[in-house]
Structure 1
């Protein structure tokens, strides 16, 4: 197994036993192993993609704003790019098991300073996406209460209630979280498939047409921005390596889950967006989306399946958002844990709960950040969807695209430095191709950011919001440079994760053997 910058010998352990590490630097610094298997990890990862929110929210918005009929084909194209990225990413996950996934891989390939920069970008990106989801969750939940219980509450009350529940679940065992996410995810997918087949069974005036898969339907000035919109639907599959320390067989489980989730997302989303175009007719889908907005799917379902189904759909739309929030919360907590363990955040963040094995303090940190942001947006009377959800979601997606591109480059450098470039030639080719494609999407995302926000092209937000990711990268890189200068041993351990503490034990054992006996 390739392990990177090992600064010392491996610990000696009796045959047939697993190496143990000291309680202070090991047991509390390691996430509980064997907590989650392939099904649980797959459900946790897919829950982050929020299938119902993508189908009912992202797809109509993309049709309406971008005016591109070939949206189903976009999901196929993006699936290819994500699969190319995952070829090298999955191989990297076999050699590096670290809850800091993105930044750990970048540190192993591009050095500790780059890894420190990436760690702050990852923490900010996933945090903003998770916090942003509270906006749409609060808005939709308050709308449900108004419609079905005749109770009027401000959006931030349901958001705060969701915050408390997510925080509690985030501090518990990850296998319990997986069960909660699994139930909600399966319900979402079933409902989506029901209305998908209803749309196809009762098509619009043009019948069951496959025109949306025609490459000519991708024409239009909004293609680049549409890629940015739809790539967010895939965000989640890359979380699988974050749980590597908590799986029983990370070398097999992580890569299997990643490719399965990409395949699922590609088929599920391409099929669903095509079904929407069939229900309205390909030539009418853009106009219908512009007229109905995010309510398009609900309106189409209502005429085919009745209002009772639409009401059920509305409820699971909210629970699906909750599942997405919980999934992102778990990932942020684990990034905070990994960073605390390696000196990039206070050491307390890098200790796991003795009772659950979960990163409880990392969970608390994310809950605190979310609370501050929700209160700030509520106090300033900002729109929870147009501002909190849209702003934060797009900032987070931008950061994750950047991390993917940097990780693809890091994979190439990692294996090349170790003299195995020829043996890994096919994987490195895939990584280079993915890096180029992701860089193109990143450029589109930055240049078309006003469109993503629905803001004026001259608005200062077009630079301020992307600037959040830039600031995170600069602050993280500066801190990494300080560590390299002031604490070179700590800098050398960035990305090593729990292996660093195994090395501490090895060093202590070696020193004990050399010490004179009384």
Structure 2
């Protein structure tokens, strides 16, 4: 690892360019409403065979709202593009923080790259069916990768405007589709069977819950982009709660509306037969072809928006670690012209190209093996991150003088840690159901063990830094201050806030 310190100009992200709406757009765009509804929900129904997907979204939204209480309280004190990484560092120590960072890089990388599979498959299928164009999924995926590579090094506020237009349009079309499906129920009556608690008490509950978690990945974006907001202490809390409320209600209602239109007893079979076309097939008899076509285009742009948002998130994680010289310091430099983390953006693009090339050469299925498997892995990673962060919040406030009250600093984050930990345990135990493989398949343990290995690598690297490069070790978790930090700084874990 390079020991050179990034200069203080290029090691700072562009400040003051994002307000509350822009941050909400980035976070909800990462969640990608139409992607979650048309892609994640239908694939979740089809692969897991669980009817309780709508309830899973609502349960996860409630748990995330509880998690947000302590998360927001801590975000007022720590502003760092590393988000979960910096929170865990300040709460549980530097080794735990670096281990968390490695988990985050793997998780967000898997999430972003996995989305290329469904983007390529959906776009190529649409172009072939609608316009008779002879395209392949990987051709569309590589084109998207090239466009995102360019957008990734442009001004962040310009990207926010692109996401805003796409997000508003797809939310409107999702609400319209929901209204159409509920107003045309199977057997002539609206049923609520998929919202029954019993759907989350049997086999496959872990698969259903992690499908719900996958819909909220990108939730951390409210703090990832905090350094680039106009007022982090006001923007981050409001954007966090708005994002959770909007996505939770939209996902839950949309997943339920689909079951109303097919009939609760037929939703799994319909999802298995129609795949990502299900929602469009359900509304097409009741809407003009132009509205359905618009929805298909917005599904594609929703996938693109999610790809772009996760690209930004991963690049900023790499930037945060490069700035503190935990990773090579060149990653901690930003473009002098745009303020974007240029090196991290380019590296993420290179990784995506490498993985996509491997899938093309291997001839693997882009929907199941690339999209669903890798995004499920990404969701598992974020679930791990949130669980550990909840524990870190409790630990941080236990030794920090504050006036935030017991509910915000201890009770809510502790309850969130218990709830998230329970979901994590059930998810890992039932990961075979999530992947749609046999219980004896080694794949059920391959993905979770990947995170264990990542965490161990991070832990070992932090200990190596402590022994060989104490100046770097001392600056872990300082964020923007690390670029100008002296070689010996106070321990950021013990430093009062």
- Is this a same-fold pair by TM over 0.5? yes
C-alpha separation in 2, matches of 1:187 and 1:180: 11
- How far apart in 2 are the matches of 1:101 and 1:395? 20
Q: Does the residue aligned with 1:42 lie in a helix, a strand or coil?
A: helix
Deviation of the 1:352 alpha carbon:
1.0
The aligned runs of 1:355-394 (5 Å cut-off) are 355-394=337-376
Q: What is the alpha-carbon distance in structure 2 between the residues aligned to residue 423 and residue 27 of structure 1? A: 38
Instruction: Give the TM-score taking structure 2 as reference length.
Output: 0.93
The answer for the alignment partner of 1:484 in structure 2 is 466
CA distance in 2, matches of 1:384, 1:357: 34
Partner of 2:315: 333
CA contact (8 A) 1:412 1:431 kept: yes
Deviation of 1:63 (Å): 3.3
Residue 510 (structure 1) aligns with = none
Equivalent of 1:162 in 138, 144, 151: 144
CA shift for structure 1 position 68 = 4.1
Q: Please name the residue that 1:129 is paired with.
A: 111
Alignment of 1:255-294 (within 5 A): 255-294=237-276
Shift of 1:314: 1.9
Describe how 1:8-27 pairs up with structure 2 within 5 A. 25-27=7-9
Contiguous gaps of at least 5 residues in structure 2: 490-497
Pairwise CA RMSD:
2.0
- Post-superposition shift, 1:506? 12
- Contact conserved, 1:207 with 1:281, CA < 8 A, in 2? no
Aligned to 1:401: 383
Q: Which residue pairs with 1:50 in the alignment? A: 32
Closer, same or farther: CA 457–24 of 1 in aligned 2, 3 Å? closer
Instruction: Tell whether the 8 Å contact from 1:139 to 1:385 is kept in structure 2 after alignment.
Output: yes
The alpha-carbon deviation at position 246 of structure 1 amounts to: 0.4
> What is the aligned partner in structure 2 of residue 5 from structure 1?
none
Show the counterpart of 1:203: 185
> What TM-score, normalized to structure 1?
0.89
State which drifts further: 382-391 or 308-317.
Answer: 308-317
Distance 2:461 2:387 in 1: 22
What do residues 395-452 of structure 1 show as CA deviations (whole Å, max 9, x unaligned)?
Answer: 2111111111111111111111224498444432111111111111111222222221
**Which of 163-172 and 214-223 deviates more?**
214-223
Give the whole-Å Cα distance in 2 for the aligned partners of 1:324 and 1:289. Answer: 22
Partner of 1:7: none
Distance 2:93 2:237 in 1: 24
Aligned pair 1:139/2:109, yes or no?
no
Change (3 A) 1:151 1:102: same
Match of 1:246 in 2: 228
C-alpha spacing 1:71/1:392, structure 2 compared with 1 (3 Å): closer
141-150 vs 159-168, which moves further: 141-150
Q: Secondary structure at the match of 1:457?
A: coil
Q: What is the match of residue 17 of structure 2?
A: 35
- The offset of 1:289, in angstroms, is 3.1
Matched, 1:75 2:57: yes
Secondary structure at 1:197 match in 2? helix
Flag the 1:69–1:453 CA change in 2: closer, same or farther, 3 A: closer
> CA offsets, 1:320-357, max 9 Å, x none?
10100000000011001000001111111101110001
The answer on whether the counterparts of 1:240 and 1:257 sit within 8 Å (CA) in structure 2 is yes
Equivalent residue runs for 1:292-441 within 5 Å: 292-420=274-402, 423-441=405-423
Q: In 2 relative to 1, CA 66–387 (structure 1 residues): closer, same or farther, beyond 3 Å?
A: closer
CA distance in 2, matches of 1:312, 1:191: 8
Look up the match of 1:171: 153
Q: Distance in 2 between matches of 1:485 and 1:423?
A: 38
1:67 is displaced (CA, Å) by 4.4
Name the count of aligned residue pairs: 485
Q: Secondary structure at the match of 1:95?
A: coil
CA offsets 1:208-229 (integer angstroms, 9 cap, x no match)? 3344433344443222221111
Paired with 1:379 and 1:198, the residues of 2 have a C-alpha distance of 42
Note the alpha carbon deviations across 1:122-168, whole angstroms, 9 max, x for none.
Answer: 11110111011111111111112211222222211111100010010
Q: Which moved more, 1:275-284 or 1:96-105?
A: 275-284
Contact 2:205–2:426, Cα closer than 8 Å, also in 1 = no
SS in 2 for 1:259: helix
Moved more, 212-221 or 135-144: 212-221
Aligned residue in 1 for 2:480: 498
Mark the structure with the bigger radius of gyration: 1
